[in-house]
């Protein structure tokens, strides 16, 4: 983990794609109301173009769950995660690298992909500690996850991350890949943990 991991900032996709998803599944009026409730009214007029304080992401996701309810929030977060993965595939993961990953044996491709994700974890995990472990299934972990930090939920609620990882793995490693969050700090876990089957 590099020193940048401790800056407490997260890439703007966590805000931009969430706004797009609320627009698509709810309405622009709901999006505006959500951002105002989260004290992020400035983003109603102009979405961020650079990394944002992780506290803004935490607050935004907390208000999403409290204002829309767990079920609707999970759907919105999932779509936001898919849109984030689409953005990464279109703009951040070079096409030659994508072609190579698709040609490699799945286990090797998964290892290379996770190594790259881990190296860039500071862009989406903020001050959270992100780790991963090879195996069947693969496991990912966020200690002090910024999406649900300080919140309480009956079930795991970090579908934004689940969708992002699932889309990347389905596109680059295996069309059958699935991601499931099986513990969540909001639901009483010591960390937010995900398993990837492919």
Model's pTM, two decimal places?
Answer: 0.95
- Rounded to whole angstroms, how far apart are CA atoms 89 and 173? 13
- Contact predicate 121/132, CB 8 Å: no
pLDDT recorded at residue 7: 66
The CATH number of the domain holding residue 15 is 3.90.1520.10
Alpha-carbon distance of 109 to 92, in angstroms, equals: 17
Contact 163, 77 (CB under 8 A): yes
Nearest Cα to Cα of residue 61 among 23, 27, 105, 19: 19
Structural domain including 52 reads: 3-197
pLDDT per residue over 141-158, tens digit each? 999 999 999 999 999 999
Domains held by the chain: number: 1
What the block records as the tokens of 126 is 């903020």
pLDDT over 60 (residue 111): yes
pLDDT digits (tens, 9 = 90+) for 149-184: 999 999 999 999 999 999 999 999 999 999 999 999
Q: Give me the pLDDT at residue 2, please.
A: 38
Backbone angles phi, psi at 46, to 5 degrees: -155, 115
């Amino acid at each position: 983990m590099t020193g940048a991991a401790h800056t407490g900032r997260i890439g703007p996709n966590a805000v931009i794609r969430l706004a797009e998803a609320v627009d698509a599944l709810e309405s622009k009026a709901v999006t505006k109301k959500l951002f105002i409730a989260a004290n992020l009214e400035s983003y109603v007029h102009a979405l961020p173009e650079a990394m944002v304080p992780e506290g803004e992401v935490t607050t935004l996701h907390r208000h999403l769950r409290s204002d829309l309810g767990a079920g609707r929030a999970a759907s919105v977060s999932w779509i936001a995660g898919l849109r984030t993965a689409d953005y990464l595939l279109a703009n951040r993961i070079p096409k030659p690298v994508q072609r190579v990953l698709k040609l490699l044996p799945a286990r090797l491709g998964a290892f290379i992909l996770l190594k790259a994700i881990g190296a860039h974890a500071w862009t989406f995990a903020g001050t959270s500690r992100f780790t991963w472990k090879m195996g069947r299934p693969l496991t990912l972990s966020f200690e002090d996850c910024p999406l649900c930090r300080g919140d309480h939920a009956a079930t795991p609620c970090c579908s934004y991350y689940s969708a992002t990882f699932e889309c990347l793995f389905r596109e680059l490693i295996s069309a059958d890949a699935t991601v499931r969050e099986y513990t969540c700090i909001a639901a009483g876990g010591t960390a937010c943990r995900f398993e990837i089957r492919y």
